[in-house]
Structure 1
Amino acid sequence: MTLHRILSWTPAAVVFDCDGTLLDTERHWETARRRVLDDVGLTPAAGFAERAKGLHYTECGQLMADEGGRPELGPDLADRLLRHFRVLVREHPVTMPGARDLVRATAAFAPLAVASNCPRDVVEPGLEEAGLLRHFRAVVVPEGTIRPKPDPDVYLTAAQRCGADPAYTMAVEDTHCGILAAVRAGLTVLGAGPWPGDETAALTDLWVETLEDPRVVRWATERTPLRTTPPKPAAAPSPTGSGLRQATAP
């Protein structure tokens, strides 16, 4: 994958992750996790914060319980985690740098959706508060038969609700868990945030430090509603999603 190809492509749809991509909520999850662990007096293994990033809250609660040596507490910790998180989001809603402008620019040339691991009653009010919800054709979250990331369900469903083939759809993500979901669904992936390491970045088609990156801003504002060949290799992604793409380091 070359830098030129992804930044000269017009996707048929764009699907955004929410936490850490559109809304600055990862810090709230970190605080909520810390509060839950303090509440019950558990200490997870080193590196827990990175392993927990991007997980569905039920899986995160179980991870905390397992690593703290109290696996039976998983459901209770998940409930506590979500309660703390909801309070923090309500009190401190913040958008990520560049997110608002990128959403508005991409909405001018493609249908948009959100694919999130958070509950709907957290995602939609947050996007509404940020003035972004009206730009999205669909908000897809794990519910019913739709499994959470890293399974591909949320991305496959989001592309479908935008009326687009996943192979012609772009995902915007910030976590390894979310990137795996998008890759497994067959989407082109724009990753954004601090450099995640070579393993994660290699799964994306392009990694940028921020959605305010001038290359991304220029790409979004110069698009037209033409649907062109996606910047994809011919081979389908492997089930593990590893080693599929070459990312450009910041």
Structure 2
Amino acid sequence: MRLTVLGGCGAWPEAGQACSGYLVEHDGFRLLVDLGYATLPRLLERVSVDQVDAVFISHGHPDHCADVNPLLRARALRDDPPAPLPVYALPGALDAVLALDRPGMLDAAYVLHEFTAGSRLDIGPFRAQTRLLPHWVPNAGVRLAAGDRVLAYTGDSGPSPDVVELARDADLLLAEATYVDEVPEDSQGYQSSARQAGRQAADAGAGHLLLTHLRPGTDPAAARAAAADEYDGQVAVATTGLILDLP
């Protein structure tokens, strides 16, 4: 299983970066997990739009799904449009993005599979277990298994025992870490810090920890250090272009 980071910024993209978006590949199947602001140009540096096999969206905030619109436009408006793209999302999560164009314009470009958090999904070679994790809007964390490798992704989530269960013995935990240490009072329970992500990775027994969704301006080294205080495994920060092959 290979993970390519298209973007890892939280809220808005820094110069030269992009918001949350990840390309996960196994046995030639290409799954996009989230597709936030500025991720499509990063994707197109690697593959063409017709080479994407499916999309999974954790929740409806635009820094996780805004570039679904240009992805579908690029598929729908070509002379030889590919087959409809399977898109997996919670009910209503993509309503705003799919309403950006005139009615019907993108209908032939995708097939929307709405699921309930907690559902198990088969997406190509991936066995996906979803779990509702705490955020301001419904957010589905996902545990992707293929072959004997497991990647767990939180979307955006406050700290929760459900994150630990989602990541139990995973090879890689891709965890939201908007803040380094202290989460502001108005965001507590809805977003996490790098320190909390490290603690949860340790509790889960995850093999590696990849911090993502850092707020622009955050010092990556400080985030890594805070997570490493709680977690003895390898810690990295998701930046555009990072590629990880799950061992």
TM over 0.5: no
Structure with the higher fraction of residues in strand conformation:
2
| Bigger Rg, structure 1 or 2 | 1
Which structure is higher in helix share?
Answer: 1
TM-score, with length taken from structure 2: 0.32
Higher relative contact order (CA 8 A, sep 6+): 1
User: So what's the TM-score if we normalise by structure 1?
Assistant: 0.32
